[in-house]
A = this chain, B = another copy of it.
Amino acid sequence: MSKEKFVYFFGGGKSDGRADMKEILGGKGANLAEMTNMGIPVPPGFTISTEVCKIYYDNNRSYPQEVKNQVKESLEKLEQFLDKKLGDHSDPLLVSIRSGAKDSMPGMMDTVLNLGLNDKAVEGLIKKTGNERFVWDAYRRFIHMFGDVAMGVPHEEYEEIFSSVKKAKGIEHDEDMDVEDFKKVVKRYKELYKKHVKKEFPQDPMTQLWASIDAVFGSWNNDRAVKYRALNNIKGLLGTAVNVQAMVFGNYGNTSGTGVCFSRDPSTGENYFYGEYLMNAQGEDVVAGTRTPQTLKSLEKKDPKIYKELVGYKEKLEKHFKDMQDIEFTIEKGVLYILQTRNAKRTGPAAIRCAVEMVEEGMIDKETAIRRVTPEQLDQLLHPMIDPKTRKTLKAITKGLNASPGAACGHVVFTADEAEKWVKDGKKVLLVRRETSPDDIGGMAVAQGILTSTGGMTSHAAVVARGMGTPCVAGCKDLLISGKTINIKDKKVKEGDFVTIDGTTGEVFIGKIELAKPKFDERLTKFLKWADEISYSAVRKNAPKGFLVRANADQPHDAKVARDFGAQGIGLCRTEHMFFDAGKLEVFQEMIVANDVETRKAVLKRLLPLQQKDFEGVFKSMDGLPVTIRLLDPPLHEFVPKAEDVKAFAKKVGISPDKLKAKIDSLHELNPMLGHRGCRLGITYPEIYDMQVEAIMKAACSQAKKGVKVIPEIMIPLIGTVEELKVLRKNAENVIAAVFKAAKMNVPHLIGTMIEIPRACITADEVAKYADFFSFGTNDLTQMTFGYSRDDVGSFLPEYVEKGVLEVDPFQALDQTGVGVLVNMACDKGKQIKPELKLGICGEHGGESSSIEFCYRAGLNYVSCSPYRVPLARLAAARAVLLNK
């Protein structure tokens, strides 16, 4: 291995590396090399490649001679270049050691600064700089960092020594310490080092250097880094690189300084040079916040030459990297150095603005723009938010599941009825419940936000809230609700008190917080159009052209919202939500308690025109786009009269209250999620589905007659055996034939099924014989594949995620290892029987990015999500296409 290159030098306008060598130089090293090549003044140094990291482990944590040789050569080159020597007694070279893998990664070893100092070099540096205090400060910092970071000496023990020295002298600020104090500190730091390491603090700079390199490579496989890579599915990396770079000092005096700047405003995206700096300071001082940094504007006044130079570099770097840059710089005695540049972190609005404007400036193409913005960033534009600056000053009292994004603030109320009452009185309310039920819809609709103590990401509260675009924190198990009081840890909240929730993070705050409003502007509209261009033209092997986004919408109004947000159809229209209207609910209840088929049929006849009218509205709203309508899904007991209404209802329908109660009791289920619902109702009460199909197709005919382009897709839920679908499809076909005959017309339509039962996936080849389409109901599929109840997971799921038993809540992001295998199985088996089978998803995962990407790979034709999530899904869909290009 003698001729292999392990170490890459950079300095003096030339480097061995380049920006595209991140794989072996790491992100930091590659950018240092690139900047050097660009003529940017970067302090010189060298990068030990990631390959050495691999060799280090393969070699039982040691290095081949060739690596040692190359490090030595590069160090000598650096010394020659700067005309200084490491550990020199008169003008010593000091270096920093930094880790840097291809992807940035927390958990790995931090920086060691000022390496090269020892008892002798200190003397030399004092001679050279004439600044004794500066040098002893630098020495104590080095001993601390080296011991802590490279040798595992506890950080806190250093802090204790440092404090005790200050305390003994009766001073508070570091600035008040003098040379003698630092000397004391150095002495005691060395003793501390010896106590832990069982060796003297090393005076030999080469020993210091190699110990630090060992520490960097060793940190590649520490628990935190390994866990981080596992969690983020980072695979195939060789290891981390090590950057050894000459020190420059911003704390040399008043012509020195250090700062951070951004090529555009990272919080708004405005093309404006934004940054902060401190004179006579080191980088950590800017971060620590003990002194208030100044804005770049003031640098322009103070030192126009340096400022102009900095502006030049900023422009050069942004143009070169074609993205907003986050740049660290240091001025040492009037000379400007650039220490680091990287693509800047930014807020959602900034991400969109930058992406769109850079396309308009011709800097990047549309695909790059789409790649640049994450769905999470876009999401920030769609909901009210707690201002990021205000947020820093706040402390959440507790955290639940981030069930529906956006922040909300209001007076706490505990029942849906109360919510409606308070809102009538002109108050804004936050509805707090153990869990919500269909009865609460009215109160949920008027609340600013919803907070529940049980339930998961697809609990009733979560699903309905997302459907309404209302912020929601669910399954917040620290809430102990009793009567009109909540106990949260040691705090009490009563009805009427203000509480604020952040549904984007799951945080809960006591008190009133001002919120920033969302903005859906032209820039966003333009951006999403670009996304659509990409996804509509996507070509895959296992699917027809295009990858669309539909919406889950139950009412004409929701359908309109969805269409305005860019939905390409309705993927899930839940017919049962229509029954909760005051007028319809009582009729439906009458149907449920009917004693025989004939009575049931008679009552259903009265419901038919009401349902038909709803469908007409939905079809009209979605003129020209497909509408998938799901037949009745929830168990009948969700609709029965409440205990207090039984007497009145019994009187109305003319049966004895006892008999009514017995009937209602007989509908009770221990595990309703696994109960008598979905197509099971269709089999046992065929007349219900018959009525619904009739209403759908009558609505379709009547709208078609008016010139509306109607594309109905009838969806049968909860199929577990092919026989169910066979029977129900036949029933539906009979009803449809009768409707067409009476209307003397025909409307093209599909009949398909939701795939949400594991058994349906396993037997999908059979099921496909009777289905024109599959729509994956991944909420239920996740429930059954994991054996989790979405309404009950609050009790353990957060702990699972926290302890790493689960990487993520599988109700939030589709579990590709388990549930995904069943989805793929169903797609494969279905297409094997019917290559033209249409595939979609209408579970809540249809609005989550990683799940959308999975759906794209699985060959689905579309994803469907709640209307308010459609913009996010459009972006995620386009990014899925690009990711798999």
Contacts and interface: CB of A to CB of B under 8 A. Distances in A.
A495 interface: no
Interface stretch (A141-149, A596-604, A668-676, A739-747): A668-676
Interface in A769-797: 780, 783-789, 791-792, 795-796
B799 A786 contact: no
Nearest to A720: B786
A684 interface: yes
A720 B684 contact: no
A1 interface: no
Contact of A789 (B453, B671, B762): B671
Given A671-B673, A723-B806, A822-B758, A718 B800 contact: no
Contacts of A806: 721, 723
B787 A676 contact: no
A727 interface: yes
A666 interface: yes
B670 A672 contact: yes
A482 interface: yes
Interface string A714-743: 000010110110010000000000000000
A680 interface: yes
A819 B666 CA distance: 29
Contact of A792 (B454, B671, B724): B671
Contacts of A669: 789, 791-792, 795
Given A684-B799, A727-B805, A759-B785, 14 more contacts: A482-B662, A667-B795, A669-B789, A670-B791, A671-B674, A671-B789, A675-B792, A676-B792, A676-B796, A683-B800, A721-B806, A723-B804, A724-B805, A758-B758
A792 B662 contact: no
Contacts of A803: 683, 727
Interface in A842-860: none
A817 interface: yes
A818 interface: yes
A666 B481 CA distance: 9
Contact of A817 (B658, B674, B684, B763): B763
Interface in A646-700: 658, 661-662, 665-667, 669-676, 680, 683-684
What are the 10 closest A-B residue pairs judged by CB atoms, nearest first?
A674-B789, A671-B789, A759-B818, A676-B795, A670-B791, A675-B792, A669-B792, A757-B787, A671-B673, A671-B671
A829 to B, nearest CB: 11
A815 B723 CA distance: 14
A778 to B, nearest CB: 13
A435 B674 contact: no
Interface of A: 434-435, 453-454, 477, 480-482, 658, 661-662, 665-667, 669-676, 680, 683-684, 718, 720-721, 723-724, 727, 756-759, 762-763, 780, 783-789, 791-792, 795-796, 799-800, 803-806, 815, 817-819, 821-822
Contacts of A785: 757-759, 762, 784
Which of A454, A669, A718 has the largest number of chain B CB atoms within 10 A?
A669
Nearest to A784: B784
A762 B822 contact: yes
Contacts of A805: 683, 721, 723-724, 727
A729 to B, nearest CB: 13
Contacts of A672: 670-671, 789, 792
A463 to B, nearest CB: 14
Contact of A670 (B758, B789, B817): B789
28 contacts: A453-B666, A454-B666, A477-B666, A482-B658, A669-B795, A670-B672, A671-B791, A675-B789, A675-B792, A676-B792, A676-B796, A680-B796, A680-B800, A683-B796, A683-B799, A683-B803, A683-B805, A684-B799, A718-B787, A720-B787, A721-B818, A757-B785, A758-B784, A758-B787, A758-B818, A759-B786, A759-B787, A784-B784
A796 B785 CA distance: 22
Q: Give the number of copies in the complex.
A: 2
A805 B728 CA distance: 11
Given A662-B480, A805-B724, A675 B795 contact: yes
Contacts of A763: 817-818
A762 B757 CA distance: 14
Given A763-B818, A787-B674, A684 B796 contact: yes
Contacts of A784: 758, 784-785, 787
Nearest to A669: B792
Contacts of A822: 758, 762
A435 B662 CA distance: 14
Which of A481, A804, A818 has the largest number of chain B CB atoms within 10 A?
A818
A756 B785 CA distance: 10
Contacts of A804: 723
Contacts of A787: 673-674, 718, 720, 756-759, 780, 784
Contacts of A674: 671, 673-674, 783, 787-789, 792
A529 B684 CA distance: 47
A490 to B, nearest CB: 13
A757 B453 CA distance: 26
A226 to B, nearest CB: 14
A335 B661 CA distance: 71
Nearest to A680: B796
Contacts of A434: 665
Contacts of A482: 658, 661-662
A817 B665 CA distance: 34
Contacts of A757: 785-787
Nearest to A805: B723
A822 B453 CA distance: 35
Contacts of A796: 676, 680, 683-684
Contacts of A477: 666
Contacts of A795: 667, 669, 675-676, 684
B671 A759 contact: no
A128 to B, nearest CB: 56
Which of A477, A684, A795 has the largest number of chain B CB atoms within 10 A?
A795
A482 to B, nearest CB: 5
A346 to B, nearest CB: 34
Nearest to A791: B670
Contacts of A675: 789, 792, 795
A755 to B, nearest CB: 12
Contacts of A783: 674
A758 B825 CA distance: 14
Contacts of A799: 683-684
Nearest to A477: B666
Nearest to A783: B674
Contacts of A670: 435, 672-673, 789, 791-792
Nearest to A728: B805
A434 B477 CA distance: 32
Contacts of A658: 482
A710 B796 CA distance: 35
Contacts of A480: 662, 666
A822 to B, nearest CB: 7
Nearest to A676: B795
A759 B818 CA distance: 5
Nearest to A794: B676
A816 to B, nearest CB: 11
A536 B529 CA distance: 70
